[in-house]
Amino acid sequence: MTRLPPQPGEVIDRSRPVDFTWNGRAMSGFAGDTIASALTAGGVRVVSRSMKYRRPRGYMSNDYWDPNGLVQVGDDPNVRSAHRLIEPDMAVEAQNVWPSLEHDLRAVTGLASRFLTAGFYYKTFMRPMWLWPTYEKVLSTFSPGGRIDLDTPHRYHDKRYTHPDVVVAGGGPAGMAAALAAAEAGAMVLLVEHGHRLGGHLLWGDDHDRTLAAELAAAVEAAGVEVLVDSTVTGRYEDNWTAIVQRNHPVAVERLIKARAKILVAAPGLIERPYVFDGNDKPGVMLSGAVRRFVNMHAVRPGSNAVVFTANSDGDAAAADLKRAGAKVTVVDARRGEGIVRALGGSKSVRAVELADGRRLDCDLLVTAAGWTAPTSLLNMACDRPVYDEATARFFPSVPIGNVLATGGLAGDGSPDELIDHARATGRLAAARARAVSHRLQAATARARPVDGEAPGWPPDIRPALPRVPHPALFRSTTHGVVDFSEDVSSKDMVGAATEGYDSVELLKRYTTATMGPSQGKLETVNTVAVLAEARGQTIAEVGTTVWRPPYAPVTMGALGGRLFEPQRVSSIHPWHQANGATFMLAGQWIRPDHYGDPAGEVRNTRQNVGIMDVTPLGKLDLRGPDVPKLLSHLYTNKWMKLAVGSVRYGIMCAEDGVILDDGVTGRLGDQHYMMTTTSSGAATVWEWAENWLQTEHPDWRVHVTPVTSGYTSINVAGPESRTLMRRLAGDVDLDPEAFRYMQVRTATVAGIRDCFMWRIGFTGELSFELHVPAGHGLAVWEALLEAGEDLGVRPFGVEAQRIMRLEKGHFIVGQDTDGLTKAPAVGLRHLIKLDKHDFAGKPELAWALEDPSAPVLVAIQPTHHGRVVPDEAAQIVRPGTNEIIGRITSSRMSPSLHRPVCLGQVLPEVSDPGTELTVVMLDGRRITARVMEHHAHFDPDGVRVRG
Amino acid sequence: MKRRPPRYSAARLVSLGARKRAWPRAWREVPLQDSYDVVVIGGGVHGLATAYYLAANHGMTNVAVLEKSYLGSGGSGRNTAILRSNYLTPEGVVFYDRSLELYRTLAVDLNMNVMFSRRGHITLAHSDASLRTMHWRAEVNKLQGVDSSVIGPAEIKKLAPALDTSSHPRYPILGALYHPPGGIIRHDAVVWGYARGADALGVEMHQKTEVLDIMVTGGDGPGGKGPGGRVTGVRTSRGDISAPVVVNCTAGWATLISDMAGVGLPISTRPLQAAVTEPVKVFLPVVVVSGTLHVYVSQTARGELVFGASVDPYNTYDIRGSLDFAEGTAGHLLELMPGISRMRLLRQWAGLCDMTPDYSPVMGFTPVEGFLCDVGWGTYGFKAGPVSGEQMAEAIATQRTPELIAPFSLSRFERDALVGEKGAAAVGH
Amino acid sequence: MLIVPCPNCGPRNAADLRYVGESRPRPDPNSASAKEWRAYLYERANPAGLLRETWYCRSGCRRYFTLERDTVTNEFTNPPTPVAKLGKRP
Amino acid sequence: MLTSTRTECGSVAELPAFESPVSRSFVSDAGASMEPRRPGAALTLHDVSVTTKIIVRAGPETVAGHQMDTPFGASRTEDGALVVGQRPDEWIILGPAAASRALIDGLDRSGHVSVIDHTHSRALFRLTGDEAASVLEKLCSLDWNDHMTPDGAAVSASVAKVTCDIVRNDLDGTRSYLISCDRSYGQYLFDAILDARHEFGVGAPADAAG
Ligand SMILES: Cc1cc2nc3c(=O)[nH]c(=O)nc-3n(C[C@H](O)[C@H](O)[C@H](O)COP(=O)(O)OP(=O)(O)OC[C@H]3O[C@@H](n4cnc5c(N)ncnc54)[C@H](O)[C@@H]3O)c2cc1C
Ligand SMILES: NC(=O)c1ccc[n+]([C@@H]2O[C@H](COP(=O)([O-])OP(=O)(O)OC[C@H]3O[C@@H](n4cnc5c(N)ncnc54)[C@H](O)[C@@H]3O)[C@@H](O)[C@H]2O)c1
Ligand SMILES: Cc1cc2nc3c(=O)[nH]c(=O)nc-3n(C[C@H](O)[C@H](O)[C@H](O)COP(=O)(O)O)c2cc1C
Ligand SMILES: [Zn+2]
């Protein structure tokens, strides 16, 4: 047991013991313990094994970044055990071990480490080629992470946007002081701390440090700063779009906060850097900060016989902490030229250390305090490139970026007072700049409150720079050791890679995978660069670093995905469809009835009696103004200047490249009032297309386009009895065939509902009325139709029945029978392209396309003597006896009306003549013959029914 | 000038290791000459493969590859490394299939294990319309002899148990296009393998050498550039080089290079983003793509999920990633595989893509004599590296356009003879 | 996320808009040669630097407008003054 | 034989009644407007789709344009109707249910002016309470702070990925927003707002899988 008596700064609650398990073994700790502190208190030393060589590893940095501390907690893999607090009954397991932590059989690779240099896998396993898949499987058993449970649900996550004036990343003394000063200057401030409480490194400091932390935290709270702990600023994106992950939300598992920070203050402090030497990854080799956190925050003594190799006051403080905790301590002081050469001992623990002067000291704990790495990543995400400072042996942010400011350890050193002064100045500057940004935003925003006064100027940065305390440049001893602990890359590997030519930092990274593991270089970047610089005989500044990229700390997919916003659209009749056995299909965002159990029956009923279909998703644009005909003429390929009131016309729209964009009918409801319909999926596109022409090329045309798609519930009433049915409900309209003819439109009162309109058109090929009812009454009219037509045999039909009927009639569907290259002449409606109009979208291409003899054309196709074999949609049409593709079936169905398969297809012009025999390759490989038909319409080619 | 490549093998790994000897350099660092027979601009897979095949297949070794940054710093070092040949148009299918064939033996040919994992590739269909496109692709593929078929949810579940194939999700999985020969590869190893192979045959690689201008005489445009002109060399950040043949293999930067020669391109530069999660034990044995949800994902042998989306919504040469990408893609992946919600995103990045209107490349000769392009690779060009290199090398060596790349000529835009891969995109979603 | 300065609404997230693309003048459809027309359809300047481009304020004012942006830094030059701000307030 | 599934909302003088786009609520079957459960968490969401909505599109040169007298981004009340400057040269008038005729007849339609009854095209919800802005913050990326979106402000934006027109229209000093979307999204949006509201002490979270 290494738990110490109560320590003045401990964060554990000894009155609340917590039981959990470690690899199935019962363990206990106290509330406030991290998994790491509880395990260490329980005497556990080895917590994981290294990725490649399976070497036993213990805690090294004892913080979120500890590369050795990743564990599995229940279904949660790669949990940072030095950050995650223990909870009752938590099941913690070592990961990356096989079969167990104590006896990892793959540790044999460790013996072979001399041969398994970085990139060894690129040099082996090539022959014989057929064995590679087996090698691959073996290699993949070395994958280092935990495991996921495929049944884990995506739990309740959440997101929030916020627009604070200042976001402060880091709740150490600097961050707190900056937040405080900014709030005092009137800014709305969000302070985000990665750890479980405010205080930063003061939390594991002395009494004076902790008092300072408590005072600052209280002041921050009092100043109205919004504080988030156990939360991380994970990224800074364009225009200060700042990502924050909040892990302690009361309702959501995790919450992603997207803050549009006017100013971002980075105060992430510094990260302690490991030292490279032989044996530096043995359990018991630790950083000074790790020791201080164990002792001072969790009252755990990580060893009893310590050697402390120190180059700075933190190492000295760690030595003092250990002494106070009752350990035997020997100090090796780098500032006096002393050094360590290698750690000795068994694989499971350090037992001794060899010093530069040849001495050998026994120990069970080897502490290093060799310097700091500046986590400049948030600034780098704002395009700043860090510059190396020889004197302090660390990188600093370079060019100050206007809306991102750095303070605290990132910006320099100094006494607590100096640091807090700098941070306060930073907070004030942030507040002043935020005011300037805010003023600009408000002044430019239409809906905002009018601004007071002149726009404030951009406050200059006149903060005095922080001092920089020189620090010895300690990266590697005279021996080689591990540089990247999570990737198991040694300095020797790196030297080897550089010799092979992977001698720029980017190539070295990719070849050795150094800095590519879970800590993303926070511990290892500078050592990597230093080793490379040494190998190349260059300076660290010349070598430079790799690029830091988001996220600052790994973020769960759940938090990023959040709740999925996947909008769905339904018509007013939807509840009826649900209650009456519809099978639904998704059409973009729309949920539509595909059928009500028997699509073929729905077809038959519609052809024999009368069917009704909910066609609400049909795009509807209300067009008003004197220049609507000009707009129509421009959008459609045919003519529109002379459409009479009460008439409806069909048209095709093409893009500027002549490719079919959409089709539909437009009717004239009044003198300057038209209604356009588009395909269901084309509604938004066509609207924006129309606006584009009106706003950019023809701002002089007076037209108002208003989308009214769901303002009307649209119902297609089709079949021989449709007129009889409509007569019963729309008594105010003369429905006689002569009075209301095919391709005409009427406004009507239907079932008592005013302001409906209907037109006589028929995608199904039947006598039909397309009713458009103000949507708030759509369901009522639908039900009225069913009631009034019961004796006529009225039944609903769905999308599938409609697809069958339109195919029987040979109507094409944009996007199914046409594709991204299909131009208007190809679909057989050449007469709808009017080149004598002055201008319309795609005109030149259509002129050329009309002359193009090579483009595929759309034809109706029927299989010849394979009566009931329905060609598959997408079946290819080939030149007989070859695999040369000369067409394809685009639509195909068994026709319930004709009792034979009917198709549409695209074929090369040379095989498009009626009667041409085609070879269709079925999906199962069979080849059948089919014939090009004379008309697109397989059924009622003369259109007798539809005109009836 | 021919050198023998240092042999890579397990035996040598052991023998060098036992003698504690270092491996020789993978490629040399040599001084920049003032003239070459061919200058290739761009040290990505296309540039390097072109140089390699010029030397290997045609004995042209006085060739320099100029790279402004480090080898593979462009799309070649940033891509999700998915290889497949199940395209939609016959011309696309045969072209990419040739590339896969070259990839199949690349490890042996280059004596470098590029770790081509032919694990199978599935493209999910969430609607009738996309299922129809899958069938269409499968049929075209089969007719070109490519292994490709449409499978149903039960089979999908067997291939990738992590996928939610129930009928509950917002985007139900109705079926998938299954392409067994597709897979992933170690993209960096491909780049290094070609560099090492080319170097061994005498080609020179010059990193940190930026092309600043292209010298052209006799053209219609300003400064004698443009159509009708002839290339004489390039100006670089390290001096001028004369060369009768200059090849543009700069993907995202293609327009900037072509502008130097006075050749207009139908290209827009857009970033494409990708991300990688922390590793977990392997659970996803195939590559999964959903066009509707704009995601593709695979799990590396190291256990990380590598995934990507579609290109960013506006043109830019800036490659900072966006949060929208991370959020959107994670959301869509969770839609497909709810079980990965506890995995953690480790890093995100972006690369530049040279998008063309018809999702097909621009390859071969241009109106400027001696100036060739191998660009327009958009979001899909890594898989085409080997075949492009092979065909471009042939074009340079023979001065004729090989049949395989004829459909991808720059002149198709003026003729409006676009390649129908756009058709798939238009129908697919 | 990029902020796009809509001349009507003010600064908006790029996700609220649709990027239409490089602004290119439309040749006269009645006299353009195939070469000119197809250059209009397909050719792009694609500069690394200042680009004149069109955006559509899809979720906001629903207006098309043209802006100039540096495609290397993504900074908009001379954000336009919002037209509607000139209107009076109640 | 056929199940009636109508969910009438509001009592309009016309017959049959106007059917709301919101037909169900996962919080309870009692109806579409929910009162808070937690005492003090005054946060209500009401389905007011029955409200009359008139679009007026008119250029600055028209009489109607002047009649509106409300700049883009702002709103004002007149005779019990709310006039909203929703887009440049485009206004939405929100009035009591079944008042469309009266509202339309009061407008001068000379010149190039379009007046469209949009009542049936849009779902309309009112979200009221001190924490209403916090609810919106979870669904919409705009800045809802007072200086950026004061009482009376009108804006269009994406809410839970649906484009909505939003007017801040405080009630007796309590924050309140009128949120309207295309009618077909009504049910989806209503559910999304309810779900977002849940952490403030009301309602139950939607199915985690959403
Ligand atoms: C995120 C992402 C995912 C992708 N996923 C896939 C995938 O799964 N499968 C697939 O097949 N493809 C994929 N791609 C596309 C693929 O990466 C590219 O198409 C391909 O790598 C292009 O290779 P390249 O050699 O032509 O260009 P690059 O690799 O981009 O090389 C161009 C080189 O030119 C250099 N250069 C530029 N200008 C100059 C100059 N003036 N002087 C000297 N050098 C210059 C650049 O530095 C660069 O190194 C993806 C791309 C990205 C960005
Ligand atoms: N960190 C140490 O252990 C340490 C040791 C000795 C001296 N110092 C000195 O103390 C001063 C540092 O004070 P400080 O306030 O700058 O640093 P600090 O280390 O005290 O506090 C920084 C805090 O920021 C948090 N943080 C980092 N990145 C974050 C992110 N992206 N999101 C949210 N939180 C994040 C960290 O968890 C930490 O609590 C410097 O002078 C430094 O030299 C620090
Ligand atoms: C297929 C693939 C896998 C990657 N895996 C990792 C990884 O495991 N860890 C990591 O840090 N980066 C990984 N990266 C990303 C690189 O670190 C780097 O971000 C990318 O090559 C772009 O370079 P840049 O970030 O330096 O611009 C991977 C990249 C690719 C293309
Ligand atoms: Zn706008």
Q: What is the pLDDT of residue A137?
A: 81
Nearest residue of B to residue C17, measured between CA atoms:
B313
Per CB-CB distance under 8 Å, the chain C contacts of B323 are 1
**D207 has pLDDT over 90:** no
Same domain flag for B147 and B210: no
What ipTM score was computed for the predicted complex, to two decimals? 0.94
Q: D173 pairs with which residues across the strands?
A: none
Q: Residue A297 in contact with residue A71, Cβ under 8 Å?
A: no
Per CB-CB distance under 8 Å, the chain C contacts of D141 are 13, 15-16
Same domain flag for B216 and B350: no
Nearest to C42 among B256, B323, B357 (CB): B357
Same domain flag for D131 and D104: no
Average pLDDT taken over every residue of chain D:
83
Which ligand has an atom closest to residue B191 CA? 1
Q: What is the pLDDT of residue D209?
A: 26
Peptide linkage before B172 cis (omega within 30 of 0): no
CA-closest residue to ligand 2 atom 35: A170
Same domain flag for B53 and B202: yes
Query: Which is nearest to B257 in space by CA: B209, B226, B211, B208?
Result: B211
B82 domain residue, yes or no: yes
- DSSP letter at A760 equals -
Q: What is the pLDDT of residue D7?
A: 54
Give the integer Cα–Cα distance in Å for A526 and A539. 12
B136 domain residue, yes or no: yes
A808's enclosing H/E stretch is helix A799-808
Same domain flag for B221 and B163: no
Q: B255-258 contacts: CB < 8 A, separation 24 or more?
A: B255/B354, B255/C44, B255/C45, B255/C46, B255/C47, B256/C48, B257/B41, B257/B211, B257/B214, B258/B366, B258/B371, B258/B373, B258/B375
Per-residue tokens: C50: 């200042």
Q: A171 pLDDT band (50/70/90 cuts)?
A: very high
Nearest residue of A to residue D199, measured between CA atoms:
A251
Strands (E), B95-191: 121-125, 149-151, 175-179, 183-184
Q: A948 pLDDT band (50/70/90 cuts)?
A: confident
Burial B383-399 (b: 16+ CB within 10 A, else e): bbbbbbbbbbbbbbbee
* Selected residue of A246, A563, A627, A631 to mutate for chain D interface (largest D Cβ count, 10 A): A563
CA-closest residue to ligand 3 atom 22: B78
First to last CA, chain D: 33
Best of B377, B391, B408 for a ligand 1 pocket test (most atoms within 8 Å of beta carbon): B377
Q: D32-40 contacts: CB < 8 A, separation 24 or more?
A: D32/D7, D32/D190, D34/D194, D34/D202, D34/D203, D36/D129, D36/D200, D36/D201, D36/D202, D37/D201, D37/D202, D37/D203, D38/D200, D38/D201, D38/D202
CA-closest residue to ligand 1 atom 4: B79
Same domain flag for B96 and B125: no
Judge: D6–A575 Cβ closer than 8 Å, yes or no: yes
Q: Which of residues 169-208 of B touch D (CB under 8 A)?
A: 169
B339 close contact with D: CB closer than 8 A: no
For residue D29, the domain's CATH number is 3.30.1360.120
For residue A202, the CA-to-ligand 2 centroid distance in Å is: 9
Query: Which is nearest to A162 in space by CA: A250, A228, A230?
Result: A228
**A140 has pLDDT over 90:** no
Same domain flag for B365 and B258: yes
D2 domain residue, yes or no: no
For residue B416, the CA-to-ligand 4 centroid distance in Å is: 35
Per-residue tokens: A333: 């002081």
Judge: A691–C62 Cβ closer than 8 Å, yes or no: yes
Q: Are strands A226-228 and A189-192 parallel, antiparallel or unpaired?
A: parallel
Q: What is the pLDDT averaged over residues B279-303?
A: 94
Instruction: Kindly report, residue by residue over B32-76, the tens digit of the pLDDT.
Output: 999 999 999 999 999 999 999 999 999 999 999 999 999 999 999
What are φ and ψ of residue A470, in 5° steps? -55, 145
Per CB-CB distance under 8 Å, the chain B contacts of D209 are 168-169, 338
Chain A: give the shortest CA distance to residue D138, in Å.
4
Q: B272 pairs with which residues across the strands?
A: B351
Q: Residue B292: how many CB atoms within 10 A of its CB?
A: 17
Which ligand has an atom closest to residue B276 CA? 3
Same domain flag for D57 and D91: yes
Same domain flag for D130 and D168: yes
Structural domains of chain C, ranges and CATH numbers in brackets: 3-77 (3.30.2270.10)
Q: What is the pLDDT averaged over residues A309-314?
A: 97
Same domain flag for D37 and D126: yes
Same domain flag for D192 and D142: yes
D168 domain residue, yes or no: yes
B250 domain residue, yes or no: yes
Same domain flag for D158 and D75: no
Per CB-CB distance under 8 Å, the chain D contacts of B338 are 209
B251 domain residue, yes or no: yes
Per CB-CB distance under 8 Å, the chain C contacts of A845 are 37, 41
Same domain flag for B87 and B64: yes
Which ligand has an atom closest to residue B64 CA? 1
Write the burial class of residue A601 (CB in 10 Å: 0-12 exposed, 13-18 middle, 19+ buried).
middle
Which ligand has an atom closest to residue A422 CA? 2
Q: Residue A304 in contact with residue A67, Cβ under 8 Å?
A: no
For residue B290, the domain's CATH number is 3.30.9.10
B160 domain residue, yes or no: yes
Chain D: give the shortest CA distance to residue A237, in Å.
15
Which of B295, B327, B355 delimits the end of a domain?
B355
**B368 has pLDDT over 50:** yes
Same domain flag for B208 and B107: yes
Which of D117, D143, D161 delimits the end of a domain?
D117
Instruction: Kindly report, residue by residue over B116-150, the tens digit of the pLDDT.
Output: 999 999 999 999 999 999 999 999 999 999 999 99
The residues of D whose Cβ lies within 8 A of any Cβ of B are 209
Give the integer Cα–Cα distance in Å for A855 and A876. 16
Per CB-CB distance under 8 Å, the chain C contacts of B322 are 1
Q: A242 pairs with which residues across the strands?
A: A236, A259
Asked if residue B383 has its Cβ within 6 Å of ligand 1, the reply is yes
Give the integer Cα–Cα distance in Å for C36 and C21. 19
Per-residue tokens: C86: 């000139």
Query: Which is nearest to B160 in space by CA: B142, B146, B139, B178?
Result: B178
Cβ contacts from A onto C, under 8 A: 63
Q: Residue A185 in contact with residue A170, Cβ under 8 Å?
A: no
For residue A124, the CA-to-ligand 1 centroid distance in Å is: 27
Q: Are strands D90-95 and B175-179 parallel, antiparallel or unpaired?
A: unpaired
For residue B108, the domain's CATH number is 3.50.50.60
CA-closest residue to ligand 2 atom 43: A409
CB-side neighbour CA atoms (13 Å) of A558: 22
Same domain flag for B256 and B205: yes
Average pLDDT taken over every residue of chain A:
94
In angstroms and rounded to an integer, the radius of gyration of the C-alpha atoms of chain C is 16
Same domain flag for D44 and D56: no
Give the residue, B217 or B21, on which the prediction is more confident.
Answer: B217
Q: Residue B358 in contact with residue B416, Cβ under 8 Å?
A: no
Judge: B23–A500 Cβ closer than 8 Å, yes or no: yes
Per CB-CB distance under 8 Å, the chain D contacts of C7 are none
Give the integer Cα–Cα distance in Å for B393 and B408. 16
Give the integer Cα–Cα distance in Å for A754 and A750. 7
CB-side neighbour CA atoms (13 Å) of D124: 26
Nearest to C60 among D71, D76, D157 (CB): D157
Which ligand has an atom closest to residue B205 CA? 1
Best of B41, B372, B382 for a ligand 1 pocket test (most atoms within 8 Å of beta carbon): B382
Instruction: Kindly report, residue by residue over D160-189, the tens digit of the pLDDT.
Output: 999 999 999 999 999 999 999 999 999 999
Same domain flag for D58 and D28: no
Instruction: Kindly report, residue by residue over A658-692, the tens digit of the pLDDT.
Output: 999 999 999 999 999 999 999 999 999 999 999 99
Q: Residue A470: how many CB atoms within 10 A of its CB?
A: 12
**C82 has pLDDT over 90:** no
Q: D56 pairs with which residues across the strands?
A: D91, D115
* Residue ranges making up the domain that contains D44: 21-50+120-200
Which of B294, B325, B355 delimits the end of a domain?
B355
* Residue ranges making up the domain that contains B406: 32-112+187-265+359-425
Q: What is the pLDDT of residue D16?
A: 65
D80 domain residue, yes or no: yes
Query: Which ligand 3 atom sits nearest the alpha carbon of residue A549?
Result: 25
Q: What is the pLDDT averaged over residues D113-141?
A: 95
- Report the domain count for chain B: 2
Judge: C89–A657 Cβ closer than 8 Å, yes or no: no
B386 domain residue, yes or no: yes
D3 domain residue, yes or no: no
Per CB-CB distance under 8 Å, the chain D contacts of A581 are none
Asked if residue B361 has its Cβ within 6 Å of ligand 1, the reply is no
A132's enclosing H/E stretch is helix A132-140
For residue D63, the domain's CATH number is 3.30.70.1520
Same domain flag for D81 and D160: no
Same domain flag for D132 and D109: no
Q: A112 pLDDT band (50/70/90 cuts)?
A: low
Helix (H, G, I), strand (E, B) or coil at B260: helix
Query: Which ligand 3 atom sits nearest the alpha carbon of residue A506?
Result: 26
D179 domain residue, yes or no: yes
Give the residue, D199 or A478, on which the prediction is more confident.
Answer: A478
Distances A91 to A31, A76, D9 between C-alpha atoms, Å: 16, 10, 52
Nearest residue of D to residue A617, measured between CA atoms:
D184
D95 domain residue, yes or no: yes
Per-residue tokens: A788: 């009034």
Same domain flag for B194 and B90: yes
Peptide linkage before B407 cis (omega within 30 of 0): no
* Selected residue of A109, A122, A151, A254 to mutate for chain B interface (largest B Cβ count, 10 A): A122
Instruction: Kindly report, residue by residue over C32-50, the tens digit of the pLDDT.
Output: 999 999 999 999 999 999 9
B390 domain residue, yes or no: yes
- DSSP letter at A452 equals P
Same domain flag for B88 and B214: yes
Distances A389 to A40, A373, A411, B156, B295 between C-alpha atoms, Å: 37, 11, 12, 55, 42
Q: A108 pLDDT band (50/70/90 cuts)?
A: low
Q: Residue C18 in contact with residue C55, Cβ under 8 Å?
A: yes
Same domain flag for B337 and B191: no
Same domain flag for D46 and D56: no
Helix (H, G, I), strand (E, B) or coil at D169: coil
- Report the domain count for chain D: 2
Which of B355, B389, B407 delimits the end of a domain?
B355
Per CB-CB distance under 8 Å, the chain A contacts of D26 are none
Q: Residue B20 in contact with residue A114, Cβ under 8 Å?
A: yes
Which of D71, D101, D117 delimits the end of a domain?
D117
Q: A226 pairs with which residues across the strands?
A: A190
D88 domain residue, yes or no: yes
Report the amino acid identity of residue B192. Answer: W
CB-side neighbour CA atoms (13 Å) of A567: 20
List, chain by chain if needed, residues with CB within 6 Å of any ligand 3 atom. A 516, 520, 546-547, 549; B 77-81, 187, 276, 304, 306, 346-347, 349
Best of B117, B212, B322, B379 for a ligand 1 pocket test (most atoms within 8 Å of beta carbon): B379
Judge: D199–A158 Cβ closer than 8 Å, yes or no: yes
Report the amino acid identity of residue A840. Answer: F
- Helix and strand numbers, DSSP H then E, in chain A: 24, 49
Same domain flag for D154 and D177: yes
* Selected residue of A190, A253, A256, A447 to mutate for chain D interface (largest D Cβ count, 10 A): A447
Q: What is the pLDDT averaged over residues A352-357?
A: 97
Q: Are strands A340-344 and A352-355 parallel, antiparallel or unpaired?
A: antiparallel
Instruction: Kindly report, residue by residue over A193-231, the tens digit of the pLDDT.
Output: 999 999 999 999 999 999 999 999 999 999 999 999 999
B19 domain residue, yes or no: no
Q: What is the pLDDT of residue A64?
A: 97
Give the integer Cα–Cα distance in Å for A425 and D115. 57
D16 domain residue, yes or no: no
Strands (E), A432-506: 482-484, 489-490
Which of D70, D90, D117 delimits the end of a domain?
D117
